[in-house]
Amino acid sequence: MAPVPPRLEIIDLCCAFDGHQVVTDVSLSIAAGQVLCLLGPSGCGKSTTLRAIAGVETPVAGIIRIDGVEVCGPSGLTLPEQRGVGLIFQDFALFPHLSVADNVAFGLKGSRAQKRARARELLERVRLERYLDAYPHELSGGEQQRVALARAIAPKPRVMLMDEPFSGLDNRLRDGIRDETLALLKEEGTAVLLVTHEPEEAMRMADEIALMRDGHIVQRGAPYNVYNAPVDRAAAAFFSDINVIEGEVNGALTDTPFGQFLAPGQPDGTKVDIAIRPQHVRIDFDREGRGPHPTAQDGTPARAVVQRARFIGKESLVEFKLDANGATMMATVPSVFLPKPGTPLWLMIRRDRCFVFPRK
Ligand SMILES: Nc1ncnc2c1ncn2[C@@H]1O[C@H](COP(=O)(O)OP(=O)(O)OP(=O)(O)O)[C@@H](O)[C@H]1O
């Protein structure tokens, strides 16, 4: 039996404006029921990629296939409305003069009764069936977004393209609507491409993350892998604050205030950055100038002096200055831990949580 093609497949997509390339050789594939998040900073080319898939932007090169059928490529361009693609954007303009049911049924084929039945089914799924005959202005922002969602899903698109669809909603509402949306789309076997610049949103929603920078996909993988094995310093820094300890390679080792680190394959004299997230820095007390003993897991402790400490909700953020080289380090600790500025403490860094990158 021939293998099932991915629901959405993009090969070497390139887009340009006025001769300036903003999307370069982007390749992605998404299976039925899978969610891929295109994650990256503002201006990196996420929305342009999405618009090219929708068919409202014409790429300069590349192939786009939906269920194995080319909709953009050497054989030509399929019209946007014939691609079987749904779109959800941040501003989810509903038609103000149509009832909620008619908004959801808009674009559906079939008899009036059939369209109303499908609208009811979807409004039940987003728990808004009581508003079937209401008008958009009678609904809250979050409810309107759920109607927009039901409208986008109603024609059973094979591919759903979502551009920051939840950023207009408040935090508590957002989590529920996000989860609800995904469950519905997965159930329908839709391939979802979600554009976001928020790592937390991507990690929460994605089966796979494609990290984008300057028009390129720099890393692809499951959220756990992208977070825990970033390809470079910028990829690590995109997900959270990071501490960077600078070093230089000598005999495949790098000396730092936290002891020696392996830098395999790096020639002598290479400058390296050792990155560690603040939540993987451990703190211990100063015992009359002595710290804890080195361990295999945490390496050598380094003495540091508290610069400031802030409580930021679930955790506290403490900023230190290292005795050894005056470098600044940040550590997050669960709950309230607010040592006074000037307090000497010892820092240890989880060896298995450090990333060693040659400096660019
Ligand atoms: N219609 C256009 N004409 C000219 N340049 C454009 C056009 N649309 C986008 N660009 C440029 O292309 C680049 C990529 O833009 P795009 O909107 O794809 O980025 P993005 O990653 O989606 O950013 P954001 O998260 O801010 O929406 C940017 O430099 C932008 O200025």
Examine the domain organization and report whether 113 and 197 are in the same domain: yes
Examine the domain organization and report whether 47 and 120 are in the same domain: yes
Examine the domain organization and report whether 67 and 192 are in the same domain: yes
200 lies in a domain? yes
Examine the domain organization and report whether 230 and 245 are in the same domain: no
252 lies in a domain? yes
69 lies in a domain? yes
Examine the domain organization and report whether 216 and 78 are in the same domain: yes
pLDDT given at position 190: 94
Examine the domain organization and report whether 196 and 307 are in the same domain: no
Examine the domain organization and report whether 42 and 93 are in the same domain: yes
Report residue 356 as tokens: 């060693």
220 lies in a domain? yes
pLDDT given at position 218: 97
269 lies in a domain? yes
Mean pLDDT by runs of 10 across the 360 residues of the chain is 89 96 97 96 94 94 96 92 86 87 91 93 88 94 86 91 82 80 88 94 94 97 95 94 92 89 86 93 90 84 95 92 94 89 94 88
Q: Which atom of ligand 1 is nearest to the CA of 47?
A: 22
Q: What is the best residue among 22, 26, 37 to mutate for testing ligand 1's pocket, by most ligand atoms within 8 Å of CB?
A: 22
pLDDT given at position 251: 87
Q: Which of 205, 236, 267 is the last residue of a domain?
A: 236
The sign of the torsion formed by the CA atoms of 51, 56, 59, 62 equals positive
2 lies in a domain? no
Ligand 1: does its nearest atom lie under 6 Å from the Cβ of 46? yes
3 lies in a domain? no
Examine the domain organization and report whether 230 and 354 are in the same domain: no
Examine the domain organization and report whether 81 and 160 are in the same domain: yes
Examine the domain organization and report whether 283 and 267 are in the same domain: yes
Examine the domain organization and report whether 230 and 251 are in the same domain: no
Ligand 1: does its nearest atom lie under 6 Å from the Cβ of 58? no
Ligand 1: does its nearest atom lie under 6 Å from the Cβ of 230? no
Q: Which of 204, 236, 268 is the last residue of a domain?
A: 236
Q: Which of 236, 262, 284 is the last residue of a domain?
A: 236
Q: Whose CA is nearest to atom 3 of ligand 1?
A: 17
Give the structural domain span for 73: 8-236
Ligand 1: does its nearest atom lie under 6 Å from the Cβ of 285? no
Looking up residue 182, the CATH number of its domain turns out to be 3.40.50.300
pLDDT given at position 83: 92
Number of separate domains in the chain:
2
Examine the domain organization and report whether 216 and 252 are in the same domain: no
Ligand 1: does its nearest atom lie under 6 Å from the Cβ of 254? no
Looking up residue 318, the CATH number of its domain turns out to be 2.40.50.140
